[in-house]
Structure 1
Amino acid sequence: MQQVIIVGGGPVGLWLAAELRLADVPVTVLEARRERDPHSKALTIHPRTIEVLAFRGAADRLLAEGVRLPNGHFGGLDDRMDFAVLDTPFPFTLVLPQAHTEELLEERALALGVRIRRGHRVTGLTQHADSVTVRAESATGPYSLEAAYVVGCDGTRSTVRAAAGIDFPGTDATVWGWLGDVVLDDPPAAGGFSACTPDGGVMIVPLPGGAHRLVGSDPTNIRPDWPGELTLDELRATVRRVAGTDFGMRDPQWLSRFGNATRQAAQYRSGRVLLAGDAAHMHFPTGGVGLNVGIQDATNLGWKLAATVRGRAADTLLDSYHAERHPVGADLLLSTRAQTALMTAFTQEGQALRALLSRFVATVPEFSRELAERLSGLAVSYPPTTADAHPLTGRRAPDLRFAGSEATLFTLLYPGRPVLLDLAGDTADTPEGAAEPALTTHRAPLHDPPAGWENVRAAVIRPDGHVAWASDDPRDGSPTRRRSPARTGIPGWNS
């Protein structure tokens, strides 16, 4: 029997598979496509996602090959949020086509021992008391596999979600956007371009290889019915109305439409079946957040599922996946709906609203920073499970630095295990044998503690980079107390 089957070999499924392999959990990915999709729905990697990649040692190639943008937009407003004010080692968005991101993540997954079966389409599943039967088809015909758990990372039309009987409530499309990857003979002088007028909105960004991506909408696409396939002539005419020029567009590589249908899975877990990424939430692709939230879903789920499979945690730990990530998904839908309204505000009243909010972004630093923290994923915090929890509990931990040590918190998180920090004692190497199979320990005081960490003497950081437990009491850093399983701060953890 397989330990875990992941359905869907996009970025979310590949990242989740790699997370499971860090804990030596056997995992098989079933992907319906025979070849990687050459078209890139997503282009943007946000700061929190870069942090997630960094604390697994997987960010360097993406950072080397992507284009760094020091700002971001909210709803296509003219004034952009300054990411330089964000408390992160990566105060920028990274422009990198999804096809290449997926290629790099697949290389990592294969190197970790993930089994990937391309051209294998899942047709259904049946849950049992202690396993799941997955039915699939390949070039050689139909077959079945047994797994302890199945995770659907198979997109908005998820077969896994439907087969598990998980509801997907929400709203149908009322607005259609368009996308064109084309060659521009007369591209914008600044490289990028953005405009929103009563005739429509368009945003232009350069792509590797000399092409440009044009994305936007216009008043003719505010309708509940499908407008039909996008043509180059239609794209050219629309861009001319909005921008006064078509920038010499020719040779389309990809023309597509997308709607604002917005839905969220009622449960992210049903027994031994779980959902992540687009299988769990569907929305208008405003701000390029979809891939990012999906990878963050996988990071939250991966260590919990691995601990459950390996017997280090009770099965109930998986319930916290829904409890923590479903509200994040709901907030994602709130944000994308708000941005959709701004991006399609073609009336005079709508243009006035855009101008007012854009002025706030430019002149009210607190407003701009709040939007930037939400869009970037840095604002995500999980509610503590006890009333007397330390104020840091559930919050994202920064990349802490330690006195007399080259290690940082992010490097300590590379293995995908919880990290126990003894910050009360003198600087010293971690004692021999202190790195337990399911727990990494590190003893050293903080160097230049960030806000909120000045008095912390011990803490446990979850594998997904959030604080599980913290204490200002120096005694909690002692070897005897720190080795207590309860010190992980993770309910149901049995290390």
Structure 2
Amino acid sequence: MPADVVIVGGGPVGLYLAASLLQEGVSVRVLEQRTERSPHSRAIGIHPPALAALSQVQVAAAMVHEGVSIRTGKAVSGGRTVGTMSFAGVSEDFPFVLALPQSRTEQLLEERVRTLSAHAIVRGVRVTGVTDDGETAAVAVEPVAGAGTRREEVEGSIVVAADGARSHLRTALGVPVRAKEYPDHYLMGDFADAGQYGRMAVLFLEPEGIVESFPLPGGVRRWVVRLSRPPEDANAGQLAGLVMRRTGVLPDLQSNTMVSAFSVRSTLARRLVSGRVVLIGDAAHEISPIGGQGMNLGWLDAQALSPLIQSALAGGPVDLQLKKFEADRQRAAVIARRQSEVNMMLGRPLPAPFLKLRNLAIGAAASAPAINLWTARRFTMQ
């Protein structure tokens, strides 16, 4: 089953690239290890530049219709509002951050891909290696347990690795990475939304560490608590108790639908282009989920790569453009990582005197329209 482009990884980034190429007449194979989409959702925030990219593959309108448009963020400490941030000026078309569960985002993208090509997505296959003879590239695939497919090679003019932070393809290529560990750990979960904050995102800047709260579709609100060490037993009761202790708000324990813990690290690949193989998304740069950088950054990678692939397939010289693509996307990843580090720093525990100073600084910045707008644009990846 050869194709013009083989995309390894059928997550949101790989599916976006597939849709972008298919609607331009490029044949695509998306190889995905999972036999079914995951029902669990971690990434929820979609920023204006990514929404503009998603509109190019005709899925942004459906996402906005189903998601929650967060137009304002509020910082709270000790029960008092420290400052507010409006996203009204960050984009003419999308003046908000959209909250939509990743599971639904993937479903909408997959539906778009299947509309363009019923056979583009191949599930239940694991990529075990890659070869590149300078003219074509091929990936070796084998079935996952019970998938019922045979071992084979899938050839393409170009191979794109969008197979996540622990990319098997990146490892097979021998691409070195720069990894960084952080002293930040988080526990998060979804509960029924009591409605006291409407469609607003709320950051509780408390002495024990930040608590973040975001509205989701269907009357759900996500709560995220910063911890100094990984939790021994991540469960909804522990999360609800921590939220109550720090904020005075007690999520409805019986309404919990998801709980998850994660620790923070970043990984930057030292090169994104290896012959006819290109890394994008988390395979190229793993960025902390705080601030919603990772998934959005991957979509912008794919948006920049798509026209280069089309040009290469048409026989155009793209070596210089690919070098620029690599440099630009690596630079964007560094900027995103710095923003993520700032977001994490603001959420770390502080003694009362330093917490007061930080809150005063945040309040002063929020009250200055120019600084408020600049901060909002940085937060939304612009």
Q: Same fold (TM over 0.5)?
A: yes
C-alpha displacement of 1:87: 4.5
Is 1:319 equivalent to 2:323 in the alignment?
yes
Q: Deviations over 1:208-240 (max 9, x none)?
A: 3343311121xxx324xx443412232132122
Residue 95 of structure 1 corresponds to 99
Asked if structure 1 preserves the Cα contact closer than 8 Å seen for 2:74 and 2:203, the reply is: no
- Per-residue deviation at 1:54? 2.8
Find the aligned partners of 1:79 and 1:300 in 2 and give their Cα distance: 36
Deviations, residues 401-433 of structure 1 (Å, cap 9, x unaligned): xxxxxxxxxxxxxxxxxxxxxxxxxxxxxxxxx
8 Å CA contact retained: 2:82, 2:360: no
Deviations 1:341-384 (CA, angstroms, capped at 9, x unpaired)? 11114333552353133213322222222222223233xxxxxx
Alignment pair present for 1:50 and 2:54: no
- Bigger drift between 201-210 and 275-284 goes to 201-210
More relative contact order, 1 or 2 (CA 8 Å, 6+ apart): 2
1:30 is aligned to 2:31? yes
The code of the aligned residue for 2:72 comes to N
Other-structure match for 1:207: 216
Contact 1:75-1:340 at 8 Å conserved across structures:
no
Structure 2 distance, partners of 1:122, 1:279, is 14
Q: Choose the corresponding residue for 1:222, options 214, 221, 228.
A: 228
| Conservation of the 8 A alpha-carbon contact between 1:161 and 1:275 | yes
Q: Determine the C-alpha separation between the residues in 2 that align with 1:243 and 1:369.
A: 27
Moved over 6 A (4+): 73-77
Shift of 1:14: 0.6
Amino acid at match of 1:200: G
* SS at 1:296 equivalent: helix
Which residue number in structure 1 is paired with residue 196 of structure 2?
A: 189
Report if the CA contact (8 A) 1:179-1:216 is conserved. yes
Q: Does 1:70 align with 2:75?
A: no
How many residues are matched?
Answer: 371
Matches within 5 A, 1:372-383: 372-378=376-382
Cα offsets for 1:88-110 (capped at 9, x unmatched): 22211112111111111111112
AA aligned opposite 1:35: E
Q: Mapping of 1:276-287 within 5 angstroms?
A: 276-287=280-291
In structure 2, how many angstroms separate the alpha carbons of the residues matched to 1:11 and 1:99? 9
Q: Which residue of 1 aligns with 2:128?
A: 123
Secondary structure of the 2:138 match is: strand
Against the structure 1 CA distance between its residues 78 and 106, is the aligned structure 2 distance closer, same or farther, given a 3 Å change threshold? farther
CA distance in 2, matches of 1:102, 1:74: 31
Question: Which protein has the larger Cα radius of gyration, Structure 1 or Structure 2?
Answer: 1
The equivalent of 1:410 in structure 2 is: none
Distance 1:361 1:178 in 2: 29
Whether the 8 Å CA contact 1:19–1:303 is kept in 2: the answer is: no
Deviation at 1:78, TM superposition (A): 4.6
Percent same amino acid among aligned pairs?
A: 35
Question: C-alpha offsets along residues 103-155 of structure 1, whole Å, 9 cap, x if unaligned?
Answer: 11111112222600111121222332222221212223432222222111111
Matched residue of 1:85: which SS?
A: coil
The equivalent position to 2:153 in structure 1, one of 135, 144, 153, is: 144
Deviation at 1:173, TM superposition (A): 3.8
**Cα pair 1:194 1:203 within 8 Å, conserved:** yes
Q: 1:24 to 1:284 in 2, by over 3 A?
A: same
Q: Which residue of 2 aligns with 1:110?
A: 114
Q: Match for residue 299 of structure 2?
A: 295
Amino acid at match of 2:191: V
Using a 3 Å threshold, how does the CA distance of structure 1 residues 75 and 161 change in structure 2: closer, same or farther? farther
Give distance in 2, aligned partners of 1:229 and 1:123: 34
Q: CA deviation at 1:75?
A: 12
- Which residue is 2:180 aligned to? 171
How far apart, CA to CA, are the structure 2 residues paired with 1:137 and 1:80?
A: 52
Asked if the contact 2:18–2:28 (Cα under 8 Å) also holds between the matched residues in 1, the reply is yes
Query: Hey, what does 1:157 align to over in structure 2?
Result: 166
Distance in 2 (CA, whole Å) between partners of 1:348 and 1:301 is: 48
Say whether the 8 Å CA contact 1:262–1:282 is kept in structure 2.
Answer: yes
What TM-score does the superposition give when structure 2 sets the normalisation length? 0.89
Name the structure 1 match of 2:22: 21
> 2: CA distance between counterparts of 1:9 and 1:78?
41
RMSD: 2.4
Relative to structure 2, which stretch is displaced further, 288-297 or 128-137?
Answer: 128-137
Name which of structure 1's ranges 104-113 and 65-74 shifts more when overlaid on structure 2.
65-74
- SS class of match (1:250): helix
- C-alpha contact 1:205 1:212 (8 A) present in aligned 2: yes
The structural deviation recorded for 1:273 is 1.3
Task: For residues 294-333 of structure 1, give each alpha carbon's deviation from its aligned partner in whole angstroms, at most 9, with x where no partner exists.
Answer: 1111100111112112213434422221021110011001
Alignment partner of 1:252 is 2:256: yes
**CA distance change for structure 1 residues 57 and 247 in 2, over 3 Å: closer, same or farther?**
closer
Which structure has the highest strand share of the two? Answer: 2
Instruction: Provide closer, same or farther for how the CA distance between residues 357 and 56 of structure 1 changes in structure 2, counting only shifts above 3 A.
Output: farther
What residue ranges of structure 2 are gaps of 5+ in the alignment? Answer: none
Local SS of the residue matching 2:270: coil
Instruction: Report deviation, 1:188.
Output: 5.1
Letter in 2 for 1:15: Y
Moved more, 98-107 or 355-364: 355-364
> Residues 303, 74 of structure 1: CA spacing in aligned structure 2 closer, same or farther, 3 A cutoff?
farther
Using the size of structure 1 for normalisation, the TM-score is 0.70
Q: What is residue 360 of structure 1 aligned with on the other side?
A: 364
Indicate the SS of the match to 1:325.
Answer: helix
> The residue matched to 2:345 in structure 1 has which SS?
helix
Task: Report the alpha carbon displacement of residue 2 of structure 1 after superposing the two structures with TM.
Answer: 2.7
d(CA) in 2 for partners of 1:78, 1:307: 50
**What's 2:313 paired with?**
309
